[in-house]
């Protein structure tokens, strides 16, 4: 039965499930493996999970805990494309709609879409060359 409320524990489940899928994904996994390693239980992953948890708790519940800017670490992942972000969103949507009710899934997905568009804009992915 899907979650019909949002709390820190089910956000933890969502983050872990989602990045477990991402790590195994042929398109997106290599970006994360290079940055964080290939074992989500060790290395840099536990700290990253805590950051993601704090971020999504702030976004969905409004509880302070996340301090920072989510964009800068992504600037150094490698050459990201709009297609990478669109694929990320497809996987994210699958996870949040599997775990949460439609209404809550919609809220997560809307925030993730806004975030992806901000990253695309900040990375200048859709900018045309001025040459």
Segment 53-67, tens digit of pLDDT: 999 999 999 988 778
Which residue bears the tokens 């993601």? 52
The predicted model gives 41-54 an average pLDDT of 90
- What does the pLDDT look like over 26-39, one tens digit per residue? 999 999 998 899 88
Instruction: Report angle CA 54, 91, 110 to the nearest 5 degrees.
Output: 60
Q: In this structure, what are the phi and psi dihedrals at residue 82, rounded to the nearest 5 degrees?
A: -55, -40
Q: Where do the H-state alpha helices sit in 1-131?
A: 8-24, 29-36, 45-61, 82-99, 102-122
**Which residue segments constitute the domains of the chain, with CATH numbers given?**
8-122 (1.10.490.10)
Distance CA 6, CA 16 (A): 15
pTM equals 0.88
């Amino acid at each position: 039965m899907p979650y019909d409320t949002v709390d820190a524990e089910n956000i933890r489940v969502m983050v872990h499930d989602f990045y477990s899928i991402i790590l195994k994904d042929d398109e997106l996994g290599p970006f994360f493996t290079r940055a964080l390693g290939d074992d989500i239980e060790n290395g840099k992953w536990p700290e990253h999970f805590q950051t993601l948890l704090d971020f999504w708790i702030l976004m969905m519940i409004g509880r302070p805990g996340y301090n920072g800017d989510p964009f800068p670490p992504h600037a150094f992942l490698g050459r990201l494309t709009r297609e990478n972000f669109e694929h990320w969103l497809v996987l994210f949507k699958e996870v949040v709609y599997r775990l949460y009710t439609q209404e809550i899934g919609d809220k997560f997905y809307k925030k993730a879409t806004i975030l992806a568009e901000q990253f695309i804009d900040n990375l200048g992915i859709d900018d045309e060359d001025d040459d």
